[in-house]
């Protein structure tokens, strides 16, 4: 887990740009878990990227940008709420004006307002989950991928979840949205592939983040979960960030349309 002091409200997005380098990206998250997009931002920043930090709270944008600047990373704060289409359009316009274009787009937005059987989810739960977790990624790709095409190609990474590759009693609605996000990666890979745009999903398992604390803070639940995980531990944000960085660079140049699972083997084990 990253030992970093963060504001109470996590950043909604981190736009990452490089000039005369191989990586430029947008990383989108949502309130409640910022460790993973922060790790991705650090990884890209340490690779030479300039960052634009986006959140619905400008104060939080400034705090995160200042944190990264203090680590020697060039970061620029910009306010946007990813749940609002008009604000996503405004964010895209601001990014294009500031940086001119992108080489990579990482969509990390995710909320889970509903827990329990799908039949108990309200219309608002459905609207919130699908808008933030799925539609915002489509809005971002629609707005920003053309600028990548104009630069000769690029990479899109959509952060999904292993909740989207199997049934889940507690996170069924969240899992549906993340399964759809992985399908979005496949569809966009087909649509944009002829323009040299690669699109992939990453599906993390249990990663030590604020979002996962209801699980990781429970010894009984973790004992049960780790017994199903061959590596017998939870992951850390840097292990997701490393893969996101690989997919944005030359080493990931022939990978597209895939859903890459980072879960310590949870989904392939038999529990023994």
Average pLDDT of the chain to the nearest whole number: 83
For the entire predicted model, the pTM comes to 0.86
Compute the distance between CA of residue 72 and CA of residue 254 in angstroms, rounded to an integer: 32
Residue 121 has pLDDT above 60, yes or no: yes
pLDDT in tens, 205-241: 988 877 777 887 888 888 888 888 999 998 999 999 9
C-alpha distances (whole Å) from 31 to each of 12, 45, 201, 256 are 7, 22, 21, 29
Tokens 């996170």: give the residue.
Answer: 171
Q: What sections of 25-159 are H helices per DSSP? A: 35-46, 58-69, 85-99, 123-130, 136-150
Domains annotated for the chain, with CATH where assigned, are 13-257 (3.40.50.720)
Please give the C-alpha separations between residue 127 and each of 51, 124, 130, 216, 259, in angstroms, as whole numbers. Answer: 30, 5, 5, 28, 24
Q: What is the pLDDT of residues 92-109, one digit of tens each?
A: 999 888 888 888 888 888
CA-CA distance, 60 to 169, in Å (whole number)? 34
For 249-261, write each residue's pLDDT tens digit: 899 999 999 999 9
Burial class (CB in 10 A: 0-12, 13-18, 19+), 99: buried
Amino acid 34: pLDDT: 65
204: nearest Cα among 235, 247, 233, 231: 235
Is 174 marked active-site? Answer: yes
- Residue 212 near residue 225 (C-beta atoms within 8 A): no
From the candidates 26, 33, 44, 174, give the one annotated as an active-site residue.
174
Distance, in Å, from the CA atom of 61 to the CA atom of 229, rounded to the nearest integer, reads 36
Q: Identify which of 206, 204, 203, 238 has the alpha carbon closest to the alpha carbon of residue 222.
A: 206
């Amino acid at each position: 887990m990253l030992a970093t002091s963060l504001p109470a409200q996590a950043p909604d997005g981190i736009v990452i740009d490089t000039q005369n380098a191989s990586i430029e990206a947008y990383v989108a998250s949502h309130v409640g878990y910022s460790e993973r997009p922060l790790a991705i931002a650090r990884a890209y920043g340490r690779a030479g990227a300039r960052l634009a930090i986006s959140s619905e709270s400008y104060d939080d944008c400034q705090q995160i940008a200042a944190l990264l600047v203090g680590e020697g990373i060039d970061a620029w704060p910009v306010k946007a709420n990813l749940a609002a289409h008009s604000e996503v359009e405004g964010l895209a316009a601001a990014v294009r004006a500031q940086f001119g274009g992108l080489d990579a787009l990482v969509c990390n937005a995710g909320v889970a307002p509903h827990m329990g059987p799908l039949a108990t989810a309200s219309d608002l739960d459905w609207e919130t989950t699908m808008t933030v977790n799925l539609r915002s990624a489509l809005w971002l790709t629609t707005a920003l991928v053309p600028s990548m095409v104009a630069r000769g190609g690029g990479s899109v990474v959509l952060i999904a979840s292993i909740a989207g590759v199997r049934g889940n009693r507690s996170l069924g609605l969240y899992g549906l949205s993340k399964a759809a996000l992985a399908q979005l990666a496949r569809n966009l890979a087909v649509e944009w592939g002829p323009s040299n745009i690669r699109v992939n999903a990453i599906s993390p398992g249990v990663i030590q983040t604020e979002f996962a604390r209801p699980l990781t803070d429970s010894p009984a639940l973790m004992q049960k979960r780790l017994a199903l995980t061959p590596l017998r531990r939870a992951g850390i944000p840097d292990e997701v960030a490393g893969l996101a960085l690989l997919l944005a660079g030359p080493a990931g140049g022939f990978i597209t349309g895939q859903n890459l699972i980072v879960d310590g083997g949870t989904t392939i084990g038999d529990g023994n």
